[in-house]
Amino acid sequence: MRFLFFDQIKLIEKGRRIVGLKTFPLSEEYLGRHFSRQPLVPGVILVEAMAQLIGWLITYSHDFELTSLLTMVENVTLPSRMTPGATAEIHGEIISTTKDGTLARGKVLVDGKEVGNVERIIFAHFASVPKEELKQRFAYYGGFRAAKVQPSPAPRVYARPKHPRSVVVTGLGVVTPLGIGTVRNWRRLLAGESGIRRIDILSDRNLPAPFAGQVSQDDWQEIVSRQPEEAARKGERRVLFALQAAMEALDDAGLTRHAPMGARAGISLSAGLGINRLEDILLGLDGNGRFCSRRFAERLEHLHPESMFLNPTDRPAAEVAIRYGLMGPNVTTTSACAAATQAIGQAYRVIRRGDADVMVVGGADSMIHPVGAVFFVLLGAASKSKKGPDGVSKPFDRRRSGLVMGEGAGVAVLEAEEHARERGARIYAEVAGYGASIDAYQITAPHPKGRGAYAAMADALRDAKMEPEEVDYINAHGTSTKLNDSIETLAIKQVFGGHAHKLAVSSSKSMIGHLLGGCGAPEFVYTVLSVYHGAVHPTINVTHPDPKCDLDYVTEGCRRMNVRAALSNSFGFGGQNAAILVREGRAKWDKPWKSN
């Protein structure tokens, strides 16, 4: 590529950092003639010069051929007009360089005043970039490949609303052992079908807990085909589940065509427990079986694709945000089995107080790997039943023997009601209230009197300004463990009093297993669908009722009923508790809370 106007280049070497400075006059000839063959805004001219400068730095410092490089420009803030006669300075800095490419950034000064910047300029080798990606992600400008650049609008100033805003659900997406998508999940849930099966993605056939709510191999391959970019890079199961569920939810909400969605759209997802994989630990062991940090560092290229070293806890949220341009509030919750419901509740409050108009919420998790398969057995929480997949997850049953792991993701789109109605969105339900608490009792056992669970549910009702009698359904945490099911039942009776026995209560985990850090996400989706469709799914496998669990667990099958409002519960290790309340989106509620 021929360099133009590079007669004034200054090279600065600062340790490992390489900074370049290019100065040139903004003459009428430069602004008009040089790019007259293309209708380019002046900001693109500056990006052209910046990319050329950094390309020169790469060839100077790393001996790469510029013709073998592809450039992508992200996060651009540049002026839409430039005055002839001023002097422009282009500053470029290389952040890091690998065999696959270079990451750089730059800024623009006009007459000594900074007027714009480019946060990320990525130079990648042609050989390492699939042709289809080139077609999708890059536009062509006068012999130079770069992302399309438009002048940044003046920032809008948002004032917080005087009154809390109503928050509604406008999009839903889910991946579980029951399948991909809300339609298939809902149909199978109402039919009482189980997605729990013998684990077949691990080579060990003698697992202490051989059954799990595993996403089927056919569904997994379909997800991989729908998310080729992530699958080709690392292919971490949680990230792929989150991307698939988010794609469905945003498409369902009619928002995918609006990407990038900007600073008024954010994301709040839960993350599961990060555990070192055995394969990664073995990389660092020396001949005596001792862990050697140096040996481990020298073998990082052999890390398992799903290694926690390659997949930090916030990676699912980050990847979804990058794909859809969600630049607003960002939350990743890691509060065990209550994490997803807490992520949804926090996002609800973000919109309610006016800090965002749209929040993508939910969670994803998978611990179906060698360490995860024994982790909950060692804790005494997992079922070791070998009787078969059909009856292994038995919430509220007297013969329940422990939780059954599941995997997958659930994602919902929350919106300020006025924002949703302004764009004509379908409204599934209104998010009416949220409550969270901690038992402050033990790490692995709930408070014996249900203190924390009671507080979370009561706070959700109080937040919604609703009476207990106005709730018709509870999607219970219902883990199939001895302690959780009986104590959750006790807490429900404490909160709802005599109305507790009139409630329909069911556990989705009887069919999909326990998604751990992500469990509250698909259960929130199912709760919203119950309100929207007026139907409640059953709790399956309750063959021997427990006298301590004496509520209506909808054991006879799907029940068609009017669900004015519904509660979704999530309780986790560490005494974490969360409850979120949804109600019919068509109704308006303004009744004051009556203190008990």
Instruction: State pLDDT tens for residues 299-322.
Output: 777 777 777 777 888 999 999 999
pLDDT for residue 472: 98
Positions of E strands within 111-260: 113-125, 139-141, 144-146, 167-176, 179-180, 197-198, 211-212
Residues 436 and 472 in one domain: yes
Residue 145 has pLDDT above 70, yes or no: no
Tell me what percent of the residues of the chain surpass a pLDDT of 90: 52
Residue 274 has pLDDT above 50, yes or no: yes
Residue 258 has pLDDT above 80, yes or no: no
Q: Within 10 A of 218 (CB to CB), how many other CB atoms are there?
A: 10
Helix (H) or strand (E) holding 412, with range, is strand 408-416
Residues 483 and 410 in one domain: yes
d(CA 460, CA 578): 9
Residues 297 and 202 in one domain: no
As for how many domains the chain has, the answer is 3
Residues 174 and 42 in one domain: no
Under the banding of pLDDT at 50, 70 and 90, the label for residue 100 is: low
Kindly state whether residue 156 falls inside one of the protein's structural domains: no
Helix (H) or strand (E) holding 370, with range, is helix 370-378
pTM for this one? 0.73
Residue 453 sits in which domain range? 167-274+313-584
Residue 84 has pLDDT above 90, yes or no: no
Kindly state whether residue 593 falls inside one of the protein's structural domains: no
Which among 146, 177, 206 is the end of a domain? 146
Kindly state whether residue 155 falls inside one of the protein's structural domains: no
Residues 320 and 266 in one domain: yes
pLDDT for residue 410: 98
pLDDT for residue 83: 58
Residues 320 and 412 in one domain: yes
Residues 101 and 200 in one domain: no
Which among 91, 113, 146 is the end of a domain? 146
Under the banding of pLDDT at 50, 70 and 90, the label for residue 3 is: very low
d(CA 495, CA 498): 9
Looking at per-residue pLDDT, the higher value among 208 and 53 belongs to: 208
Q: Within 10 A of 476 (CB to CB), how many other CB atoms are there?
A: 30
- Range of weakest confidence among 77-81, 216-220, 367-371: 77-81
Residues 281 and 357 in one domain: no
Task: Supply 524's token pair.
Answer: 């929130």
Residues 6+ apart with CB under 8 A from 495: 454, 457, 458, 461, 468
Residue 255 has pLDDT above 50, yes or no: yes
- CATH at residue 416: 3.40.47.10
Under the banding of pLDDT at 50, 70 and 90, the label for residue 124 is: low
* DSSP conformation class of 413: E
Kindly state whether residue 595 falls inside one of the protein's structural domains: no
Residues 215 and 76 in one domain: no
Q: What is the mean pLDDT of the chain?
A: 81
Beta bridge mates, 169: 414, 429
Q: What is the pLDDT of residues 518-565, one digit of tens each?
A: 999 999 999 999 999 999 999 999 999 999 999 999 999 999 999 999
Positions of E strands within 111-207: 113-125, 139-141, 144-146, 167-176, 179-180, 197-198
Over residues 382-399, the mean pLDDT reads 88
Task: Supply 522's token pair.
Answer: 């698909």
Is residue 403 within 8 Å of residue 227, measured between CB atoms?
A: no
Residues 332 and 252 in one domain: yes
- CATH at residue 80: 3.10.129.10
Kindly state whether residue 152 falls inside one of the protein's structural domains: no
Kindly state whether residue 125 falls inside one of the protein's structural domains: yes
pLDDT for residue 272: 82
Tell me what percent of the residues of the chain surpass a pLDDT of 70: 75
d(CA 490, CA 549): 8
pLDDT for residue 527: 98
pLDDT for residue 298: 79
Under the banding of pLDDT at 50, 70 and 90, the label for residue 231 is: confident
Residues 140 and 174 in one domain: no
Residue 23 has pLDDT above 80, yes or no: no
Kindly state whether residue 205 falls inside one of the protein's structural domains: yes
Over residues 26-48, the mean pLDDT reads 48
Over residues 77-102, the mean pLDDT reads 66
d(CA 245, CA 251): 10
d(CA 72, CA 121): 6
Q: Within 10 A of 251 (CB to CB), how many other CB atoms are there?
A: 14
Spatial CA neighbour of 282 closest among 273, 274, 292: 292
Alpha carbon of 190 to those of 146, 172, 181, 183: distances in Å?
Answer: 50, 17, 14, 11
pLDDT for residue 136: 41
Per the document, the length of the chain is 596
Residue 324 has pLDDT above 80, yes or no: yes
Catalytic residues: 337, 477, 514
pLDDT for residue 302: 79
Kindly state whether residue 247 falls inside one of the protein's structural domains: yes
Under the banding of pLDDT at 50, 70 and 90, the label for residue 446 is: very high
Is residue 47 within 8 Å of residue 73, measured between CB atoms?
A: yes
Range among 87-101, 154-168, 334-348 with highest mean pLDDT value: 334-348
- Range of weakest confidence among 286-295, 341-350, 403-412, 460-469: 286-295
Residues 288 and 364 in one domain: no
